[in-house]
Amino acid sequence: MQPSLEQLAITYKNLPADKLIRLAVTDAAGLRPEALELLKAEIKGRGLDDGILRGIDVQLNHVDDSQLNNYLALVRNQACPTCGDQSQQLNAVLSTTVISAIIFTHYKKAFSIGCPTCLKKANQKATLKTALLGWWGLPWGLMRTPQALISNTKTNKRINTGEPTPILVDFIKNNIGIIESIKNNDQSLQVMLTNLNNKQHYNKYHIIKHGANRHPIPSR
C-alpha cells in the first residue's frame, strides 16, 4: 500500500538535507508524479540549490548521445582527483585484485577514476599484488588469479586507447542526476571524484550502479 500524500509530505519534511538531496538526485525516476511534486516543493521550501531540481528533471527525460557526450566531457576535463593533473583527460576503470591464504580467496574489483597515468599505476598495483598473492588458495586462488590478470591486461589496453571506457560511460548514465545537480560547481565535482576513489567500490549510492564482490570465497 502506497503512503498517502500527507504521509509523504511529512516524510520529506523530516528528512535531513543530505538524505533529501540523495533521494532527489538518484531516485527521482522511481517516484510517482505526485511524490515528485511534493519533493520539489520541499526542496524549494528549504531554499536548496536549483541544481537539485535540474538533477530531478534530467532523470525523467531521455538523454541523447549529444547530451551524454557533454556530460562525459565535463567529467573528463576535471583535474585528476589523485594527482591534480589537468593536462590529461580523465577516465575510469575497474582493477581486479585476488589475495589468497590457503583456506580463503578474496576477490575484489576496485573502481578508480583519474588521469591515465594514475589509472595505470592503480591497475599495475592490483596486477602485482594478484600475481604475488593470488595463487595460494585452493581451488579458487588458482581459478580467480588468471581471470584477474587477464582482466587487468584488458583494462590497461583500454586506458591506452584514450577513449572513454565502458565503466565511465556507465558512471555517467547511471548518475546523470548527481552530475547535473553539481555541474556548475567544480569544487563539488572534485569532491565527488575524490570520494569515488576513496570508497574504491561501486554501487548505486556511491555513484556507480553495480556492486562489487568483496566477500571471501571459501576454498572448499
**pLDDT tens column, 48-61:** 999 999 999 999 99
State the Cα–Cα distance between residues 108 and 129, nearest whole angstrom: 12
Q: What is the mean pLDDT of residues 93-103?
A: 93
Model confidence at 112, pLDDT cuts 50, 70, 90, reads: very high
Q: Mind listing the pLDDT tens digit for each residue in 176-203?
A: 999 999 999 999 999 999 998 877 544 4
Return the pLDDT at 14: 97
State the Cα–Cα distance between residues 154 and 165, nearest whole angstrom: 11
- Asked if pLDDT for residue 205 goes beyond 90, the answer is no
Contact 177, 144 (CB under 8 A): no
Q: Mind listing the pLDDT tens digit for each residue in 12-36?
A: 999 999 999 999 999 999 999 999 9
Domain boundaries, the chain: 5-59, 74-218
Query: Helix or strand or coil: residue 110?
Result: strand
Contact 66, 215 (CB under 8 A): no
Cis peptide before 139 (omega within 30 of 0): yes
Of the CA atoms within 13 Å of residue 119, those in its CB half-sphere come to 28
- Asked if pLDDT for residue 204 goes beyond 50, the answer is no
Residue type, position 86, single letter: Q
